[in-house]
């Protein structure tokens, strides 16, 4: 946890205390996301070798996930999504920075490569520290723990980069890029902090939510919101159990 908090603090300190430009901060954010996903993939591969589970080789995803039913390995699907998104957004954001530099906002778009290098070195140092700490317990991790970590990586790639894209489009048409980006840094930091702590998963829905949902029109007359909640919980539990099964064919698949 301390390493994760320090990792989150690097771009924040750079932006608010070291006078990094928006482009410099963005470059460190982009590198942090890519490097974090690669370290997650390394954890998955090691756990796949040390404690192979069904989810590593025949991942059973949530029904709302399009990867559900895929015959590809969990790590290959994870890397495909994260690296393709990261590469595409790097190109797009590079074009946005180029446009900003030609629209009179060169100060925001300039990249201090020395600061980028120092920031990236700090990112790698804390990622390595966090990785080494996890190695001591990785054999005992459940596949569900690994899935949660990978989902956090996916959410960083999708949400953070899409936010950056739309944010930079807004910056391109406003006269206050620094203020806009400062707000983004704060919001991104709050999102990162929220993902660093355990998520609340109640066994039963809150009473206020049940009362609200039960008052709405129901496509299945006679069924309550609590029934849907219980069914979803049971389906999710069964899915996790399938992913946790030992993989007897792992040796022949590697």
For 193-216, how does the pLDDT look when each residue is reduced to its tens digit (9 = 90+)? 766 666 667 777 788 878 887 787
More confident residue, 7 or 54: 54
Report yes or no: 44 and 75 within 8 Å, Cβ to Cβ. Answer: yes
Per DSSP (E only), the strands in the chain are none
Does any domain span residue 227?
no
Does any domain span residue 132?
yes
pLDDT in tens, 20-49: 888 888 889 889 999 999 999 999 999 999
Across residues 61-74, what is the average pLDDT?
Answer: 64
* pLDDT at 220 > cutoff 80: no
Does any domain span residue 32?
yes
Neighbours of 147 (CB within 10 A): 19
Does any domain span residue 238?
no
Does any domain span residue 219?
no
Neighbours of 189 (CB within 10 A): 15
- Domain carrying residue 67: 2-200
More confident residue, 105 or 115: 115
Report yes or no: 119 and 14 within 8 Å, Cβ to Cβ. Answer: yes
Q: How far apart are CA 213 and CA 50, in angstroms?
A: 45
Does any domain span residue 249?
no
**Total number of domains in the chain:** 1
Judged on CB neighbours under 10 Å (0-12, 13-18, 19+), 114 is exposed
* pLDDT at 251 > cutoff 80: no
Q: Please tell me the predicted confidence (pLDDT) of residue 253.
A: 43
Across residues 144-173, what is the average pLDDT?
Answer: 77
Does any domain span residue 224?
no
Does any domain span residue 184?
yes
Give residues with Cβ within 8 angstroms of 184, minimum separation 6: 163, 164, 167
């Amino acid at each position: 946890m301390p390493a994760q908090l320090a990792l989150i603090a690097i771009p924040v300190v750079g932006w608010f205390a070291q006078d990094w430009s928006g482009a410099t901060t963005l470059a460190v954010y982009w590198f942090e996301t890519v490097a974090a996903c690669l370290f997650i993939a390394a954890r998955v591969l090691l756990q796949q070798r040390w404690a192979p589970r069904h989810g590593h080789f025949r991942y059973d995803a949530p029904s709302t996930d399009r990867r559900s039913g895929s015959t590809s390995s969990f790590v290959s699907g994870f890397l495909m999504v994260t690296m393709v998104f990261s590469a595409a957004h790097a190109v797009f954001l590079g074009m946005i920075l180029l446009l900003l530099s030609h629209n009179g906002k060169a100060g925001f778009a300039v990249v201090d490569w020395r600061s980028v290098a120092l920031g990236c070195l700090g990112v790698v140092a804390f990622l390595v520290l966090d990785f080494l700490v996890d190695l001591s317990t990785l054999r005992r991790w459940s596949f569900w723990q690994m899935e949660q970590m990978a989902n956090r990586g996916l959410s960083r790639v999708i949400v953070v980069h899409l936010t950056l894209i739309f944010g930079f489009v807004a910056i391109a048409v406003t006269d206050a890029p620094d203020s806009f980006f400062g707000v983004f840094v704060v919001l991104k930091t709050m999102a990162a902090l929220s993902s660093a702590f355990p998520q609340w998963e109640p066994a039963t829905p809150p009473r206020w939510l049940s009362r609200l949902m039960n008052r709405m029109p129901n496509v299945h007359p006679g069924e309550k919101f609590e029934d849907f909640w219980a069914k979803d919980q049971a389906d999710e539990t069964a899915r996790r159990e399938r992913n946790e099964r030992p993989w007897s064919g792992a040796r022949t698949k590697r």
